[in-house]
Amino acid sequence: MNLLRRKFLHLAAGAAALSVVSRFAWAQAYPTRPIRLIVGFPAGGSASDIVARLMGQWLSERLGQQFVVENRTGAATNIATEAVVRAPPDGYTLLFVTATNALNHTLYNNLNFNFISDIAPVASIYRTPFVMLVNPSVPAKTLLEFIAYAKANPGKLNMASSGSGGGPHVFGELFKAMAGVDMVHVPYRGNPFPDLLSGQVQVFFISIPPAVELIRTDKLRALAVTTATRQEVLPDIPTVGEFVPGYEASGWSGVGAPTGTPAEIVNKLNNEINAALADPQLKGRLADLGGTVIAGSPSDFGSFIAAEAEKWGKVIRAANIKLE
């Protein structure tokens, strides 16, 4: 009996070791066919799509297999996310993750998936700073003057956004709550800039790149950037946090995979993406888009996503934000 037991344990240990070796060999060979990187935004229509294609091209050259960017638009990136959640967890279908995913985790109550538990974090890529813009007719040259003016005129300032529950909306709601001001939210399905330039709306939180030229030509006034530190492209513009302690908001992106994707493949992708972020040429392209790289481990990205989902979930619930 003891001899049989020893043989069984020996065979079991051998099988376990073989399994580990097989997984390692699989990860070493990966990828052996093209990989789909699914993006929830239109082709060429957003910084997210551009960054996904830059990263896909770099990874294709590095790993010797094509990374095919596939745009699955609709339902504020939820269609793209569900496509990845339902895909085999083998590393051949990846999701371009953005801050929108963290917002949707609270905004949508009837999704067929749970973003936090159904998408495994692979690697963070970059962070996008936003800027608080006002029409020049607003009698405030600084953020402190703006806060004082808004408090003296509650409900008289209109704050534009690109839609209820999106980044510009929730970033503005966090500012309203922390600064103690009352502004009327005006959601747009299209571009709010024409009405902001004409003065029909007075305030807009937007990513920096499309705003730079309007700021430099004095068509709009930048009061503050939303990130924790000042931005090189707008060095003289203070942060919101310099006057509203603790305020920070930014867009961000990274890569995720279906939960259950082997750790060896996740780690291999993470290493390659971090190598890309250290490449001076790619880093420069991301800087041209107004972003700063945020490299890290899969667990770092997972902790960041969880913190963002919790932070903005509180804002969404406190402001009673509902989808249109």
* Domains of the chain, residue spans: 34-128+250-318, 129-242
Question: How far is the C-alpha of 302 from the C-alpha of 243, rounded, in Å?
Answer: 30
CATH number of the domain at 129-242, please? 3.40.190.10
Closest CA to 171 of 243, 99, 255: 99
Residue of 291, 292, 293 whose CA lies nearest to 273: 293
- Residue 44: its pLDDT value, please? 77
Residue 13's pLDDT is 54
Task: Report the distance separating Cα 84 and Cα 138, nearest Å.
Answer: 45
Q: Which segments in the chain show pLDDT lower than 70?
A: 1-27, 45, 324
Percentage of the chain modeled with pLDDT above 70: 91
The residue written with tokens 């309203």 in the block is: 176
What are 136-173's pLDDT values in tens digits? Answer: 999 999 999 999 999 999 999 999 999 999 999 999 99
Which token pair is 236? 């003289």
Would you say 131 and 171 are in contact if contact means Cβ atoms under 8 Å apart?
A: no
pLDDT reported for residue 323:
83
d(CA 133, CA 14): 64
Whether 34-128+250-318 and 129-242 share one fold: the answer is yes
Q: Residues 183, 161: contact at Cβ < 8 Å?
A: no
The superfamily (CATH) of domain 34-128+250-318 is Bordetella uptake gene, domain 1 (3.40.190.150)
- The neighbour count for residue 252, using CB atoms within 10 Å, is 21
Among 7, 9, 319, smallest CA distance to 171 is for: 319
**Per-residue pLDDT, 47:** 86
Q: How confident is the model at residue 154, as a pLDDT?
A: 96
